[in-house]
Structure 1
């Protein structure tokens, strides 16, 4: 998984994109309605489109999307989200909602968005802390996810023991562990974690 730095992304209060993303996939925006479990539901003709591209999971004939998935589609112009009161939710509103639920939501979203824009299918991780499952290009639907990507903010400390625990979990799942570090100005840098460099870090911490 060889990735260069992403284009810069600003957080709330600034321009979130350098240029507006183009909506090229959906004839009309998909309507996303809030679900009681905090996700967003898409029903109707676009369920198949979402399933084929790895967005959400099946839920009673609809497709249930994580908040960051809904935000990505809204930002692209492929979807329109509604709040619990039926009022439209724009990009800023979705970021605010996500940040209230998880202070690290924006970090996870920036990494998710960057990987999606690079052509990867990205799914929810295993609850290890801001983690995502990432499929090799062209392998979604035919093979399991290849990578376990953990999103981190620049300067956020992670102990060697925590990193070791996550690495062993990834190893047991048959995934390659990648740390995605979001720099203060919005670039994303990816670091592959191997047994060799992890052991060296553990030795340094001893």
Structure 2
């Protein structure tokens, strides 16, 4: 089947209609069929079309003037060979339900293609999630690594549900030891039952900085000559992330979720609903304008999966928080 490459567009004459109706390739353009670069290269490599002056290598070389083309092609080929119909779409691609195609079925996924070293901007991710949701599709990220293997992640907003944790312990007075706050309280006090603090000894409970800020703000904790503003300055001297961490900690606690440090997992918080003995979530907080390497996200998701937890990234813009879940899936 003959194709033409003119003015940057690859098209097939009326005979190309069969490619569209039978297998979902291309888009009708009048009497012709218009192919994306990924579709054309795929079909050329399988001897389904002929293109004067081009073989697979020369076409791939020309189309790769766009540095992102080859990663998109590799994902396109992978999806096609898994038995799905895939077309370019409002993200990078849209993928139809297995066994369905344009004109006779609905697309199920919207896919954004990334490389393993790409920096991920979560404001852009949120825009993609919202766009896919408005179209009633699942949003996926397909990551092409340096060995051309592809990993798929479902990415979605996650609403933190209300837990059952005790949130209003009795008022206490603390002592400031440098940058640490210690409460003198017997075992099984209301503070400890509400999962605040860590035992220093039988008489003393040591509070983490987010716990101190939360209890100060709610006027449950009093410290001589120290209020939430002054302690924020003290905490920030050691932890430049404390501002965004505290916004997330406060939100989780207000929702009766128990947030404890997740340092051993490489993240800010492990989260318990109060109903289970084991944490269900790992949460990492960061300002919304920051970027994160895709490789870091990949490690985080794999680790969370290995310990049977969901991985959430909390994007903080002032006091507004968007929880974004990345979960690895099989296509």
TM-score interval, smaller chain: 0.7 to 0.9
For 1:203 and 1:33, the matched residues in 2 are separated by 47
Match of 1:200 among 281, 289, 312: 312
The residue number in structure 1 matching 2:127 is 165
- The Cα of 1:194 is off from its aligned counterpart by 2.4
* 1:125 counterpart = 2:100: no
Write out aligned runs for 1:12-161 (5 A).
30-36=1-7, 38-82=8-52, 88-100=53-65, 102-126=66-90, 128=91, 131-140=92-101, 141-161=103-123
More strand per residue:
2
**Contact persistence 2:19–2:26 (CA under 8 A):** no
Larger Rg: 2
**196-205 or 147-156, which deviates more:** 196-205
For 1:125 and 1:46, the matched residues in 2 are separated by 20
For the aligned residues, what is the CA RMSD?
A: 2.2
Instruction: Report the secondary structure of 2:119's partner residue.
Output: coil
For 2:9 and 2:23, the matched residues in 1 are separated by 18
- The Cα of 1:75 is off from its aligned counterpart by 0.8
Q: Which has the higher contact order (CA 8 A, sep 6+)?
A: 1
- The Cα of 1:120 is off from its aligned counterpart by 0.4
For 2:143 and 2:38, the matched residues in 1 are separated by 18
Output one character per residue of 1:170-201: Cα deviation in whole Å (capped at 9) or x when no partner.
Answer: 11111100100001001011111122299921
Q: When the two structures are aligned, how many residues end up with a matched partner?
A: 167
For 2:37 and 2:146, the matched residues in 1 are separated by 23
- The Cα of 1:53 is off from its aligned counterpart by 1.1
For 1:44 and 1:174, the matched residues in 2 are separated by 33
